[in-house]
Amino acid sequence: MTPEVEIKFACEPATLDALAARAFNTPARDRRLVSVYYDTPDGLLAGRHVSLRLRTDETGRTVQTFKTGEGLGRREAESETAPGRLDLTGAELQAALSPDDLARLTPRFTVQVRRRTCEIEAGESRIELALDQGEILAGGDRLAICEAELELLSGAPRDLFTLAVELAAELPLILSLRSKSDRGNRLAAGGAPAPAAGLPPDLSCGEALRLALVAALGEVAAQVLQTAGDPSVEAVHRLRVALRRLRSLLSVFRRRWDPGNPSALRTGLRDLSRACGETRELDVLLEKADPSGALVPAL
């Protein structure tokens, strides 16, 4: 399996067009993609943070992709196959599922997107920018997709992160650590998240911390996205709780991680937490204010 390092942002359709205008110095590759994701009826793959899909483009070419892991770095195995036909002979898939479980695989949900892509030279690296707009279909339910992905094709991850920070400073982009597979599984399950996978007992302290940080950062990113769309009292409170968990992890394990600029990271998280706290105080004041007075409209 090959490593995949990518950063995903949620955004509005107008932001996709702004990204295209900024980055597409050459004609973009424009495709219509239909991806069918498979799992067992009891969601065995989802519970293990594993995904299996068949992706078909407008020419009929179909690629089967098996992905493992979560967060910004995952591993994947790809092979071309016939439309609508799973290839169950791959070593990675057979190692993940028993023969009985392989026989129980069935379509779980479908993702339909228009994808525009181009390659960007950043530092000494090649990075693919993919702009996706479409929807996830699960039974009779639908979920809109509008996101930008930066994937490292070759070079150093530092160049990928530098480009991501530059774009996020220019445009309204919101970090997202939830893949299409994660969101599709949740939609297919009626909104319930996949059960959390336990930590294997033989993990090193550093690897356990990495997984815990990925989970905590993913929850912060998810709550930021939800708060942007629904800035309610409850949403702000959930964001504060998620930030508190992440900051606690970084504090407890401060001797085990080595970011490039720890003071900037701590300052940024503190400032975001403080902004949420000030917003929460305004919410409390609003609840207690005289609804007939001039203060309520101002708040």
What ranges do the domains of the chain cover? 2-197, 198-299
Q: Are 147 and 11 in contact (CB under 8 A)?
A: yes
Instruction: Give the residue-averaged pLDDT of 213-237.
Output: 85
Instruction: Give the residue-averaged pLDDT of 177-195.
Output: 82
Confidence band for 71, pLDDT divided at 50, 70 and 90: low
Q: Which residue has the higher pLDDT, 108 or 228?
A: 108
CATH number of the domain at 2-197, please? 2.40.320.10
Q: Which of 243, 138, 229 has its CA nearest to residue 180?
A: 138
Structure confidence at residue 66 (pLDDT): 94
Instruction: Give the residue-averaged pLDDT of 189-217.
Output: 76
Alpha-carbon dihedral of residues 43, 45, 49, 55, nearest 10 degrees? -110
Q: Are 110 and 142 in contact (CB under 8 A)?
A: no
How far apart, in Å, are the Cα atoms of 210 and each of 46, 152, 258, 270? Answer: 20, 20, 12, 21
Confidence band for 287, pLDDT divided at 50, 70 and 90: confident
